Structures are given as C-alpha cells and as structure tokens.
Amino acid sequence: MSKPDLMALAEEERTELLALLRTLTDTQWNAPSLCSQWRVRDVATHVVSYDELSKATLAATFLRGALRVSRVNDVALKRYDALEPDDIIDLVSRNTRGLTSGFRGGIALTDGTIHHQDIRRALGLARTIPTSRLPAVLDFALQAPTLPAKKHAKNLSLVATDIDWSTGEGPEIIGTAEALLMCVAGRTQALDELSGPGLGTLRSRVVRTRAS
C-alpha cells in the first residue's frame, strides 16, 4: 500500500480551516477554545506561528521557551499578538512551510486537524472530517514527538467506529476516529464520547496530563 501524501492532506485541512475562519464573528474570534488559556484567535494563529521562522529564529524561540513545548508555543505566538482577524486569515491562507512541513507534512496535518477541532468544538460547530484524512492523522498523532498521544494510548487498543482503523493491544477504547484523536491528544471534552474497558485508564492519563 502506498503511503498517503501527508502534505496534500495538510493543505486540504488548512483550506477547510481557512473557510471556517472567514465565517467567524468578532465574538467567536475572542471566545475560549479547547486549549487552556487560548482564545480561538490564538489557536488559529498558532497553526501558522512556526511557518515563517528561519532556522535561527526557530532555535531562539525554543531556547526562550526553555525547550518546553507549551512555553515554546507561547513564545512563538507572542509575536502575532497585534494581528487582527483579517491578518490571521492572510497568514493561514499561505502555503504550509517551515517547521510545520516537517515529517512530509505530518506536523501540519495533525496539528492543523486537532486545532481545527479545538476551535469547532469550543464554538459548537460540528463537521465531518473526510474519512480519507483521518487514518493518516491518527497514525501520525500516535508517533508525533510533541504530542502526548503515544503515552496516553500505551498498552491500550483504539478502535474507530466510523472508519476502518484500529491500533494497539490491551483493553479496548471505542469511538469515532475524531473523538479518539482528540482524547489521545489530551482533550478531556471528548472522553464522554468513548466507551470500552480501557476508557478509565485513558481518562486518568488525559486528566493527569491536563493538570500537570
């Protein structure tokens, strides 16, 4: 089986995110997202906040953030504080490049999909993610070095109910692919959408990560 074109899928995901952003009101731009202490505008900006960094600026950003992912993200985001929604839309409309293009586009695809849902879920704007995209997102999320997904899913079986996808060994956790993705990525809001004997273990891990 040929490998999916992660960059092409990432561009499709960003196009759909861009379409959503163009419909948001000022109130929605400033509403809380699923990301702690980040508004919708912050999440949208974060998706592209690494795209334009040179290697030197990227290294400086990681050093200023003391190599801790959450702090590095805040440092990268800070430089865009003054942007208006139209400016953020302009940034998102540009081609994926820089750090997010790493791993053949896997970072852009997975980060973009999760954060797209961080916005939609917080605003109550549901969507159906194309089934051709979800297996690639889940597979990459479970190996992504900047996500806790691999730790959350350790010794558990994940089984999607809406696509032909499963992985892992151990007590099962069953649910839609999107809910599985959001939970292993650390979003407690989707936990009640899952079931199975492994759910208690996953819940405790995700809650512990959110509290740390």
Per-residue pLDDT, averaged over 155-164, amounts to 97
Distance (Å, whole) CA 38 – CA 73: 11
Whether 118 has a pLDDT exceeding 60, the answer reads yes
Per-residue pLDDT, averaged over 128-138, amounts to 94
Tell me: the pLDDT tens digits for 163-210?
999 999 999 999 999 999 999 999 999 999 999 999 999 999 999 988
Residues 28 and 105 in one domain: yes
Residues 99 and 156 in one domain: no
What pLDDT is attached to residue 97? 65
Distance (Å, whole) CA 174 – CA 178: 11
Q: Which domain does 41 fall in, by range?
A: 6-123
CATH code of residue 148: 3.30.1050
What pLDDT is attached to residue 81? 82
Per-residue pLDDT, averaged over 66-79, amounts to 70
Residues 168 and 115 in one domain: no
Instruction: Note the pTM of the prediction, 2 decimals.
Output: 0.89
Residues 85 and 41 in one domain: yes
What pLDDT is attached to residue 98? 62
Residues 95 and 186 in one domain: no
> Other C-beta atoms within 10 Å of 140: how many?
23
Tokens of 158: 């994940």
